[in-house]
Chain A
Amino acid sequence: MTTDTVAVGPPVRLGRRRTRNRLTWVLCAVALALVVVPVVSIVAGVAWHALAHFHFSLLTTYPVGNGGGLLNSIEGTFVLVFGVLVLAGLAGVAGGVYLAEYAREGRGQFLRGASEVLAGVPSIILGYVGYVGLVLGLHWGYSLYAGIIVLSVLVVPYITKTTEVALRNVPTSYREGGEALGMRSGYMLRKLVLRPALPGIATGLIIAIAIAVGETAPLLYTAEYSTRPPVFSLHNSPVGYLTYNVFTDYNQPSTFLHQRANAAALLLIVLVLILIVVARVIVMMTQRHSPDRPQRVGKATG
């Protein structure tokens, strides 16, 4: 591993090369520290501000005036995420299946490109279009469903992409075997191809949830905000969500609101951590049962 002890060339040069080698790795270690320190700082900083005067009523009460809790936002976040999971989940998985299994070369490439371009559209532009198109244009007013639709458009490309990749990782021999047995394509899809791809698809859905939980810009002007629990109507049904509390309370002249903003942020971090751990567990379980489990020897581990 360490090669600087190999005596090649004049000894004077080797000393300089050894120094340069060490310097490179020291700089890399500094870079590593610059990655780890912000992670610790974000989690610890937010937790510090949030837990200083934490009380459980924050999680179980609705906002009242300038006080109260976050229950409306917690409920709203879950309702929004559930809606996104249903709408974008169906659309994204279906799109991924089509791109991986059915699409012809040219059309597939075209649709894939459109999906990738959509993934690059800034979320605030989606929010603006949702506001102008759905809230004002269709006269929905601030609406839970406008928020769900805009968020779904935002995450569909990711679900499509992960589903397609997961399906493409299913070996060709599975399909050949299915075809040799005379299976219809749809049946083969359900029984042979989709099943080994499920962990990958689930990971994609988890990513979508993480994005939906954390987005603010597309929701500010579509779902807006409400201090009451979510209302399930198309028109004038604003809904609260955790990121709104962070965004609006952080610069209010009130220490309580600062603390509430940090508490909402801490909840968001905890949710994201849970999602990451779940995704990791899924990946771990699939690797444990996989015949080509990456070998943990040497440097080139998978």
Chain B
Amino acid sequence: MTAAWRTVAEDERRGATRGPLLSILTRSSRPPETRAGAVHLDDGARRGGSGGGAGGGSDGGHPGDGAHPSHPATAWWRAERLLPHGLRAVTFIPLVALVLILGVLLWKALPAIRFNGFGFFTRTPWSVGNTYAPLVTTNGVRHPPLASYGALPFIIGTLVSSAIAVVLAVPVAIGTALIVVEKLPPRLSSTVGFCLEVLAGVPSVVYGLWGFFTLGPFLSHDVAPLWADHLPDVPVLSFFRSPTGGGQGLFTVGVVLAIMILPIIAATTRDLLRQVPRATVEGAVALGMTDSEALGAVTVPWVRSGVIGATVLGLGRALGETMAVAMVCGSLLGANVHSLYSAFNTISAVIVGQLDSAQTDASGLAVSTLAELGLVLLFITVLVNIGARLLVRRVATTALPVGRGI
């Protein structure tokens, strides 16, 4: 043990001349055996055990700190004994943050929950009430007269816009992943990978800006009229009929959201496709199948659960997306969406758009109601995300995760 200790000290001195940056360049950074597997899991458990022991300070085999009090390495060792404790404390930050988020939301939403009741989920109007009149009290909550809040249009708007996004994004993402893996040469597929990273990395306000200036007008003037002008005025189809508007509405938001969640689904699908064993595909081809038949028989079933997981992950992002939606949704309050091209609102867009004006409500009920909306959104997105991660966990993804949709 003393020998090891001396080695430590020597290394300490020798290592001082070589910084971490240089070692990135000179050391092999991704050595063999990097595939995670059973070995790794066993190892994690074992290391976990020994690490915990060291953390408890129970392994007394090393040279005592008191034996060499003046040596510089000793201070390090003392600090390092506390290291696992410090690291563990920091690792609890996400959990603490979650509890705080939920606590603050619940605490803030309590008056609104009492005031709005269950009708919150079935009502349509959205009104702060007469903020100049004296406050009145209902259910023990002070509020301006005529205040009335209903979340139904926003819940519908959130779900419908995300559904449109998923329906549009999934085929495009899968098609892209298929052609990238099966047909394109490495250099081109790397370029497509770059495009996906750009799509994932572009800030959502930029999507909003692009949707406002470029995509929205294009969709409403050049794309939507292709079918909107020719549909009959019957119950279901009339949703797709009507004037196509100026480009701010459900359709534009759906397309923008679809483009935003494309990279998540496409990159995950691509990485899954690369793990499909070639021998099985070649076996299918050897049996006389065409490329596309082999896809249907071997490749697609192989990746299905992973793609579904990635899709649900994308859905989670679409449900929670705020800025891009707020910029192109048209911000409709107090009414349900009646056509594919009409203005509407989602929960997150209402929160970001109304928090400012909610300050004018002296009773605080408006701010409180936004907290209740936030709870609804949190419930939906967390449920979707947990489901997605359970599905994705079954497959190891090697994607370079960029953007908020890892």
Q: Which residues of A contact B (CB under 8 A)?
A: 1-4, 6, 8-9, 17-18, 20-21, 23-25, 27-32, 34-36, 38-39, 41-43, 45-46, 49, 90-91, 94-95, 97-105, 108, 111, 114-129, 131-133, 137, 153, 156-158, 160-162, 168-175, 179, 181-187, 189, 191, 195-199, 202-203, 207, 210-211, 213-217, 220-221, 243, 246-247, 250-251, 258, 261-262, 265, 268-269, 272-273, 275-276, 279-280, 282-283, 285-287, 289-292, 296, 298-302
Decide if B210 touches A46 in the complex (CB within 8 Å).
yes
Besides the known contacts A98-B84, A184-B54, 10 further A-B residue pairs in the complex with CB atoms under 8 A apart = A108-B48, A117-B386, A120-B389, A124-B322, A132-B371, A185-B54, A196-B28, A268-B202, A286-B30, A298-B278
Measured between beta carbons, the chain A residues less than 8 angstroms from B194 are 276, 280
A301–B275 CA distance with the chains assembled, in angstroms: 10
Residue from A125, A157, A273 having most chain B Cβ neighbours under 10 A: A125
Known contacts A32-B179, A175-B43, A185-B51: A132-B401 contact under CB 8 Å: no
Nearest chain B residue, comparing its CB with the CB of A214: B203
> Measured between C-beta atoms, what is the minimum distance from A294 to chain B in Å?
9
A97–B205 CA distance with the chains assembled, in angstroms: 33
A-side interface mostly:
helix
Partner of A265, one of B50, B206, B398: B206
Q: Does B319 reach chain A (CB closer than 8 Å)?
A: yes
A196–B210 CA distance with the chains assembled, in angstroms: 40
A283–B194 CA distance with the chains assembled, in angstroms: 13
Q: Which residues of B contact A (CB under 8 A)?
A: 1, 3-5, 7-8, 11, 15, 20, 23-34, 36, 39-40, 43-45, 47-52, 54-55, 62, 76-77, 79-81, 83-84, 86-88, 90-95, 97-98, 100-101, 104-105, 108, 171-176, 178-183, 186, 189, 192, 194-199, 201-210, 212-215, 259, 262, 266, 274, 278, 285, 288-295, 316, 319-323, 326-327, 348, 351-352, 355, 367, 370-371, 374, 377-378, 381-382, 384-386, 389, 398, 400-404, 406
Measured between beta carbons, the chain B residues less than 8 angstroms from A285 are 24-25
Decide if B377 touches A125 in the complex (CB within 8 Å).
yes
Measured between beta carbons, the chain B residues less than 8 angstroms from A2 are 291
Partner of B322, one of A122, A213, A251: A122
Decide if A161 touches B323 in the complex (CB within 8 Å).
no
> Measured between C-beta atoms, what is the minimum distance from A81 to chain B in Å?
13
Measured between beta carbons, the chain B residues less than 8 angstroms from A119 are 385, 404, 406
Decide if B179 touches A291 in the complex (CB within 8 Å).
no
Measured between beta carbons, the chain B residues less than 8 angstroms from A300 are 274, 278
Known contacts A175-B47, A298-B278, A300-B278: A272-B201 contact under CB 8 Å: yes
Per CB-CB distance, the 3 closest pairs between chain A and chain B, nearest first, are A31-B175, A214-B203, A186-B80
Decide if B196 touches A45 in the complex (CB within 8 Å).
no
A156–B406 CA distance with the chains assembled, in angstroms: 13
Measured between beta carbons, the chain B residues less than 8 angstroms from A29 are 179
Known contacts A153-B97, A286-B24: A171-B32 contact under CB 8 Å: yes
Decide if A131 touches B91 in the complex (CB within 8 Å).
no
A38–B168 CA distance with the chains assembled, in angstroms: 14
Nearest chain B residue, comparing its CB with the CB of A161: B406
Decide if B48 touches A24 in the complex (CB within 8 Å).
no
Partner of A182, one of B1, B180, B406: B1
Residue from B39, B98, B196 having most chain A Cβ neighbours under 10 A: B98
Decide if A116 touches B389 in the complex (CB within 8 Å).
yes
Decide if A275 touches B45 in the complex (CB within 8 Å).
no
Known contacts A17-B293, A25-B179, A95-B93: A45-B213 contact under CB 8 Å: yes
Decide if A272 touches B198 in the complex (CB within 8 Å).
yes
Partner of A272, one of B11, B202, B351: B202
Decide if B29 touches A39 in the complex (CB within 8 Å).
no
Partner of A210, one of B45, B292, B402: B402
Decide if B316 touches A120 in the complex (CB within 8 Å).
yes
Decide if B8 touches A8 in the complex (CB within 8 Å).
no
> Measured between C-beta atoms, what is the minimum distance from A138 to chain B in Å?
11
A114–B101 CA distance with the chains assembled, in angstroms: 12
Decide if B278 touches A173 in the complex (CB within 8 Å).
no
> Measured between C-beta atoms, what is the minimum distance from B107 to chain A in Å?
9
The count of A-to-B residue pairs whose CB atoms sit within 8 angstroms is 411
Decide if B195 touches A36 in the complex (CB within 8 Å).
yes
Q: What are 17 inter-chain pairs, A to B, with CB distance below 8 A?
A: A29-B179, A32-B192, A95-B93, A105-B48, A115-B95, A119-B406, A120-B316, A125-B320, A129-B105, A168-B40, A184-B77, A198-B20, A199-B29, A220-B355, A262-B213, A273-B201, A302-B398
Known contacts A28-B179, A30-B175, A168-B36: A243-B205 contact under CB 8 Å: yes
A299–B189 CA distance with the chains assembled, in angstroms: 11
Decide if A95 touches B91 in the complex (CB within 8 Å).
yes
Measured between beta carbons, the chain B residues less than 8 angstroms from A296 are 186
Partner of A25, one of B292, B321, B382: B292
Measured between beta carbons, the chain B residues less than 8 angstroms from A128 are 105, 351, 355, 370-371, 374
Measured between beta carbons, the chain A residues less than 8 angstroms from B215 are 41
A158–B201 CA distance with the chains assembled, in angstroms: 14
Partner of B348, one of A17, A24, A124, A161: A124
Nearest chain A residue, comparing its CB with the CB of B277: A300
Residue from A45, A103, A292, A299 having most chain B Cβ neighbours under 10 A: A299
Decide if A125 touches B378 in the complex (CB within 8 Å).
yes
Measured between beta carbons, the chain B residues less than 8 angstroms from A262 are 209, 213
Measured between beta carbons, the chain A residues less than 8 angstroms from B192 are 32, 35-36
Decide if A181 touches B7 in the complex (CB within 8 Å).
yes
A199–B28 CA distance with the chains assembled, in angstroms: 11
A100–B23 CA distance with the chains assembled, in angstroms: 22
Measured between beta carbons, the chain A residues less than 8 angstroms from B370 are 128
Measured between beta carbons, the chain A residues less than 8 angstroms from B50 are 179, 185
Measured between beta carbons, the chain B residues less than 8 angstroms from A101 are 47, 51
Known contacts A24-B291, A41-B210, A121-B382: A102-B51 contact under CB 8 Å: yes
Decide if A169 touches B30 in the complex (CB within 8 Å).
yes
Measured between beta carbons, the chain A residues less than 8 angstroms from B401 are 158, 161-162, 207
Nearest chain A residue, comparing its CB with the CB of B218: A41
Decide if A133 touches B104 in the complex (CB within 8 Å).
yes
Partner of B203, one of A127, A171, A213, A290: A213
Nearest chain B residue, comparing its CB with the CB of A2: B291
A127–B355 CA distance with the chains assembled, in angstroms: 11
